[in-house]
């Protein structure tokens, strides 16, 4: 009876192992697909895979100085970017995002202390990417520029973003009227500092 009982348990143990192997394979295949997508599109190397659909999650620091000003400025910057690109920005509750593992998102905060608007840093590769707005950031175009820094673009001091990388970030996917948007970007009618 003991051998009969153990023979019934063995297949159950094997399906768990097989499921684990399958999940590891799928995870590896998805990572390879994501890396290929990033490389093929010319996106920054720190571009998160969950942004490949062109939807960028973000949240506000509602405890920062001047939260109403912060929200208004960020909305202007997002409108500017959405008008000239295939990106969409989606606001989330900051607590929900903070509790979501492996989700990379932009986290906007305001500082009345710093003077430079062009701050090209963020703190985390995965998770919360800090986008700091200062009193010098007063136009939608400037907020759009700082947002692109938070998305992984950088440039040398007093230089513009690389056209190839800016175009890759602005058009990670195809969208409605992409031809017109790309044409407008290339013609220079709409530019980002």
Q: What is the pLDDT of residues 42-78, one digit of tens each?
A: 788 788 888 989 999 999 998 877 788 889 999 999 9
Q: Are residues 69 and 157 in the same domain?
A: yes
Exposure class string for 67-102: b at 16+ Cβ within 10 A, else e: eebbeebbebbbebbeebbbbebebeebeebeeeee
Q: Are residues 132 and 110 in the same domain?
A: yes
Indicate whether 61 belongs to any domain.
Answer: yes
Q: Are residues 36 and 129 in the same domain?
A: no
C-alpha 123: how far from chain center: 13
pLDDT average, residue stretch 20-31: 46
CATH at residue 63: 3.40.390
- Please provide the distance, in angstroms rounded to a whole number, between the alpha carbons at the two ends of the chain: 77
Indicate whether 46 belongs to any domain.
Answer: no
C-alpha span between 128 and 150 (Å, rounded):
10
Indicate whether 9 belongs to any domain.
Answer: yes
Q: Are residues 71 and 141 in the same domain?
A: yes
Q: Are residues 79 and 153 in the same domain?
A: yes
Indicate whether 192 belongs to any domain.
Answer: no
Instruction: Please state, in angstroms and as integers, the Cα–Cα distance from residue 40 to each residue in 32, 52, 176, following that order.
Output: 12, 12, 21
Q: Are residues 66 and 160 in the same domain?
A: yes
pLDDT digits (tens, 9 = 90+) for 98-156: 898 889 999 998 877 766 666 666 666 678 888 888 888 888 888 998 898 888 888 87
pLDDT computed for residue 190 by the predictor = 55
Q: Are residues 70 and 130 in the same domain?
A: yes
**Per DSSP, which regions of the chain are E strands?**
55-60, 88-91, 105-110, 128-133
Indicate whether 5 belongs to any domain.
Answer: yes
Domain boundaries, position 17: 1-41
Q: What domain count does the chain have? A: 2
Indicate whether 131 belongs to any domain.
Answer: yes
* The overall pTM is greater than 0.85: no
Indicate whether 47 belongs to any domain.
Answer: no
Q: Are residues 63 and 152 in the same domain?
A: yes
pLDDT average, residue stretch 159-182: 85
C-alpha span between 184 and 6 (Å, rounded):
69
To the nearest 5 percent, what fractions of the chain are helix, strand and coil? 50, 10, 40
Q: Return phi, psi of residue 108, to 5°.
A: -90, 135
């Amino acid at each position: 009876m003991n051998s009969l009982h153990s023979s019934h348990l063995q297949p159950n143990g094997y399906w768990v192992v097989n499921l684990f192997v399958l999940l590891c394979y799928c995870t590896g295949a998805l990572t390879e697909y994501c890396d290929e997508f990033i490389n093929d599109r010319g996106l920054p190397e720190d571009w998160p895979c969950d942004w490949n659909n062109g939807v960028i999650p973000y949240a506000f620091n509602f405890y920062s100085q001047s939260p109403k000003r912060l929200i208004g400025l960020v909305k202007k910057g997002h409108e500017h970017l959405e008008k000239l690109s295939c990106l969409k920005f989606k606001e989330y509750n900051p607590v929900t995002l903070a509790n979501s593992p492996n989700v990379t998102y932009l986290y906007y905060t305001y500082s009345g202390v710093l003077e430079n608007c062009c701050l090209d840093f963020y703190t985390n590769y995965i998770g919360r990417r800090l986008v700091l707005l200062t009193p010098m950031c007063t136009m939608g175009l400037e907020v759009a520029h700082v947002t692109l820094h938070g998305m992984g673009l950088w440039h040398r001091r007093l230089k513009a973003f690389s056209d190839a990388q800016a175009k890759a970030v602005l058009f990670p996917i195809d969208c409605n009227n992409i031809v017109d948007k790309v044409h407008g970007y290339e013609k220079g009618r709409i530019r980002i500092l």
